[in-house]
Amino acid sequence: MAGERVAEVERVEAHVAVSLTELIAREDALIGRFSEEAERGVVGAAGFLAQAEVRQQELIQRRDRRQKELVQERSLSLQAVERLTSLLILPHPERESPEVRKLRPNPEVEAIAMQVAMEHERAQGRVVEDVHEKDLGYDVTSLDTVSGELRLIEVKGLGDPTGTVMLSPNEKRVSEDRRDCYWLYVVTDCFHEKKLHQVKDPALMAWHEVKKVEHYYLSVDAMGKEMKMWEHPQPFGTEM
């Protein structure tokens, strides 16, 4: 059994090495091509270059993470299951408190917010991609093929006209790492007027760190007070 497991891990390792290395090399070739075009002043080349660099970095991280997992799998040994203890999982005793209830995601609100944000970007003539399932620290990539501007957009939705939005540790970290192109889009009143709020470089905002359940939150009302560039919410489909 151990020999079969090692053989299977080796097969997976070989597949990872071939497939991801090929994809990384493909992005590397695109980076070289778009770099040359950007130097020649080709319209949109800078944006395509930025996207290729992001994709390549994601592939490298994926390859390294998978290789680390395979090393751990290789060291595992199959043994008989031994029961050490039993756990009884009960609902959170404060699950109905406002602090805990606001942590529950609402799939319907999230879907509406994503639709509003993506339709807004497309209305500006940008090339938009939904990447929220990839756990990259943002939900949408938006590329202006004319100017080359790339936006990495984290989308948050609220069912009410106001409230608080939260960032996960990963979202907060990426917002700090990619301050040149990271945007926060908040869609409020998702079931009625659907107002879109936009802010570039949200890492500048005064986020409140929560230790009990690790995340960061910011009042929508406070956005106008924190940054002079913050304008009055505009109806969906209009520029800020």
Mean pLDDT for all residues in the chain: 80
Rounded to an integer, what distance in angstroms lies between the CA atom of residue 77 and that of residue 106? 41
Predicted local confidence at residue 100, as pLDDT: 58
Rounded to an integer, what distance in angstroms lies between the CA atom of residue 45 and that of residue 76? 47
In the sheet that holds 164-167, the strands lie side by side as: 164-167, 215-219, 208-210
Domain closes at, from 74, 107, 138: 74
Long-range contacts of 199-205 (CB under 8 A, 24+ apart): 199/223, 199/227, 199/229, 199/230, 200/229, 201/175, 202/154, 202/167, 202/175, 203/172, 203/175, 203/176, 203/179
55 in the same domain as 172: no
| Sequence-ordered list of residues with C-beta below 8 angstroms from that of 204, at least 6 positions apart, any chain | 226, 227
- For 52-85, write each residue's pLDDT tens digit: 888 888 888 888 888 887 777 766 654 555 777 7
Rounded to an integer, what distance in angstroms lies between the CA atom of residue 179 and that of residue 170? 14
| Token pair listed for 4 | 């079969």
- Report yes or no on 80 lying in a domain: no
- The runs of H, that is alpha helices, within the chain are 2-39, 45-74, 98-101, 107-123, 169-177, 220-226
Predicted local confidence at residue 163, as pLDDT: 87
CA-wise closest residue to 213 among 173, 167, 174 = 167
Residue 56 is part of which domain span?
A: 2-74
111 in the same domain as 224: yes
CA-wise closest residue to 170 among 135, 209, 218, 212 = 135
CATH number where 147 lies:
3.40.1350.10
Number of compact structural domains in the chain? 2
φ/ψ of residue 167, rounded to 5: -110, 140
106 in the same domain as 69: no
- Reduce the DSSP state of residue 102 to 3 states and report it: coil
Predicted local confidence at residue 44, as pLDDT: 86
φ/ψ of residue 102, rounded to 5: -70, -10
- Report yes or no on 79 lying in a domain: no
- Report yes or no on 151 lying in a domain: yes
- For 191-220, write each residue's pLDDT tens digit: 999 999 999 999 999 888 876 655 667 777
- For 137-185, write each residue's pLDDT tens digit: 899 999 887 777 888 999 999 999 988 888 988 899 889 988 888 999 9
Rounded to an integer, what distance in angstroms lies between the CA atom of residue 169 and that of residue 126? 28
150 in the same domain as 54: no
118 in the same domain as 21: no
Residue 132's CB is within 10 A of a number of other CB atoms, namely 14
Contact present, 152 and 143 (Cβ < 8 Å)? no
Q: Is pTM beyond 0.75 here?
A: no
The two beta strands, 150-157 and 140-143, are antiparallel
